[in-house]
Structure 1
Amino acid sequence: RFLNLLVSMSWLKATSNGTDDVFEEIADELDISAKEWALNMKRRIRDGYVDGADAGEDAALEVGFKEGFQEGAAKTLAVGRLRGIVCAIGSWYQVEHRGLPFPASVTDLLQRVSKHEDSIVAEIMTAMEKRFPPSANDVAESLEDLEIAPLKNCPESDCCMDTDCPPHGHTLHSVGSDSDTRSSSCAHGTIFSQLVQSCRDIVAELGLPPGLLEHINELEDIELTSSSY
């Protein structure tokens, strides 16, 4: 009986040790699974931030493209039509007066119209860049490329950090303010009126049909409408 009791106790001990080993293996597997789950959640959160940032950037670009296209089309409509009329006059003259020198007035007006159109496009591009400034990452990368060192306290009393200078982030004049926009629109309107008058003079100079003047006069109304953008 004593021998049987020892055998039974040994079996129970072995069984209990085996159960502990099984529990330890299960606990280890659960711990590994928990760590993998935590890593996957962190990865998904990070990917979600990246996808959200990309989607936001794409949406901003789409809005900027639509606004830029509408504004550009409106502001260049009148000058684009004027350039088309001047080109048509030049083509008509070449067909009707072969062998004769091309009128200098037509060439000069075409150059002036093209220059004015280019200035409008450049102004629109500048305005769109101010409206949608570069992101902080782009600015940081640009500063790193330029190897700009951080600002330090200037030892000189008359340096840029003097109290007479405007505080950081403020300028002496407002860039892109409403007054600047109005003055720019006024300047463009004056130049365009001069170009339209030059086109009228060419129509009279070449003896073109008076009906063409109606189309030319319409351009000033289009220009007034586009100046509201």
Structure 2
Amino acid sequence: MAWVQVAVSQSNEDIFDEDADEMYLLQKEWNSTMKKRLKEGYRDGIEAGKELALQTGFNQGYRHGAELMITCGQFKGTLNALLSWCHFNGHDSALSTINNLLDVVGKHEDDVLKYLNSTEEQPHLGHILDSVQDMDLNHTAGTEYREIKDGKHNDCGSSGENICRNNGEVGSLHSECSKANLCTDPEKSTLAWVKMQTVWLVEQLGLSLDVLHHVQQLEH
């Protein structure tokens, strides 16, 4: 009977060994699966973080860019309305000035678009506004700006404000200001200068206070 006991003992040991091997394999598979899921979780988390950051940056950039472009559109709409009014009311002498102001706004709009398109990372709003504020009229002024800078023009006051002389007559607007007078502080933005010129033009044309108030409310 001793051999039976030995056989039973060996059989039990084999069963335990098989159970141990199976448990080891299951534990090994479990550990491998957990490591895999952990890596996938990290990867998914990183990707989700990247997507969220990109989406947030896109939303901010789109909103800031839209705000800048809407401002340009408001100036263009106001100037086009003045252009139509002058056409209908026979103030042909002001047409050239308004068209020049529209050209300045259009060029400024192109510069803003180029800046936004050339920026790889979505910039902070403050950086965009700082860059826009740094834009002056040197690139649109040409020879006339250089003459002003050299002191050859006498139409600029010490404050840099436009004092184009029309002798009280809108009819002389074209002769005295055949182009938008570039008497402006280079530290001021392009749209601030356009706003100043438009306010002056509205006053010279004798338009209502409502129109003047509308122009003064334009943001730049």
Could you tell me the TM-score, scaled by structure 1's length?
Answer: 0.54
Query: Counterpart of 2:109?
Result: 121
1:43 positional shift: 0.7
Distance 2:91 2:215 in 1: 24
Report the secondary structure of 2:188's partner residue: helix
Contact kept in structure 2, 1:193 and 1:220, CA below 8 Å: no
| Unpaired stretches in structure 2, ≥5 consecutive residues | 122-129, 137-184
Distance 1:78 1:39 in 2: 58
Q: Measured at CA, do residues 53 and 187 of structure 1 come closer, stay the same or move farther in structure 2, by a change above 3 Å? A: closer
Match of 2:8 in 1: 11
- Which residue is 1:27 aligned to? 24
Q: Which of 57, 60, 85 is the aligned partner of 1:60? A: 57
Identity of aligned residues (%): 10
Distance 1:21 1:216 in 2: 94
Q: Which has the higher contact order (CA 8 A, sep 6+)?
A: 1
TM-score by length of 2: 0.56
Q: Does 1:39 align with 2:36?
A: yes
Give the letter aligned to residue 222 of structure 1: Q
2:212 to 191, 194, 217: 217
Offset, 1:14: 1.7
Aligned to 2:84: 87
Cα separation, 2, equivalents of 1:17 and 1:180? 86
* Separation of aligned partners in 2, 1:126 and 1:27: 64
- C-alpha distance in structure 2 between counterparts of 1:74 and 1:52, whole Å: 33
- Say what the alpha-carbon RMSD is for the aligned residues: 3.7
For residue 120 of structure 2, what is the aligned residue in structure 1? 134
**Structure 2 residue matching 1:185: 3-state secondary structure:** coil
Measured in 1, the distance between the counterparts of 2:57 and 2:12 equals: 67
Query: Displacement of 1:80 after TM fit?
Result: 2.4
Number of aligned residue pairs: 164
8 Å CA contact 1:78–1:219 kept in 2: the answer is no
Q: What's the CA shift for 1:63?
A: 1.9
Counterpart check, 1:50 vs 2:47: yes
